[in-house]
Chains A and B, each alone.
Chain A
């Protein structure tokens, strides 16, 4: 059974640029959630995707957007990057509506200069 994978591992961008982060769900999981984890903080919920649609969103501006594909993999896109977007971005996959465990990937470390 393959776990949750994320790419790339690390990324450096400059302010104003756009970035796309990718996540492959664990086999059998149909829901993907994205979290932002600033240094020394707990993860903050960005949004989640189920059946290729956004289904729940945290307190993040519209420049954070996402996609979920038919194979349940997902992308997180961030436009007009700001310095405060520097963080570890985590995705987690799970089975919808069953309070099952969310399996987290290792994350993508984004640095905005």
Chain B
């Protein structure tokens, strides 16, 4: 069945450093890849997404890259700040509407000042 692997499970960086989280997916038909940030006691919040016809997308300090051939996609956060500390999830849609998501197991990012 469909599967999304996410690494690393924990990541600790100093404020101002960059953070990179990597995911691989199994279903070659997937064509929508969102990234979510989840803070304690809250539901996941979309931070950036990418569709399969795009190789890279950037939004201020956050960027996502997609390699469809290798079935890899990555989240890059530059100039990290303490408020970036949270759990980050990658996901891949396995339906045509893009609304049924398979999530990775999450990465706990800690940014120390």
Question: What is A's interface to B at a CB cutoff of 8 Å?
Answer: 4, 31, 33, 35, 40-45, 48, 50, 56, 58-59, 90, 92, 94, 96-107
Contacts and interface: CB of A to CB of B under 8 A. Distances in A.
Contacts of B36: 104
B106 A48 contact: no
B24 to A, nearest CB: 14
Contacts of A101: 34, 46, 49
Interface residues of B, number: 29
Which residue among B1, B41, B101, B102 has the maximum number of chain A CB atoms within 10 Å of its CB?
B101
Contacts, number: 73
Interface of B: 1, 4, 6, 32, 34, 36, 41-46, 49, 51, 89, 91, 93, 95-106
Q: Is the interface of A mostly helix, strand, loop or mixed?
A: loop
Nearest to B49: A101
A42 B7 CA distance: 13
24 contacts: A4-B43, A31-B97, A31-B99, A35-B101, A42-B103, A42-B104, A43-B44, A43-B89, A45-B100, A48-B99, A50-B97, A56-B99, A56-B100, A58-B100, A59-B1, A96-B97, A98-B97, A99-B93, A100-B98, A102-B46, A103-B46, A104-B43, A106-B41, A106-B42
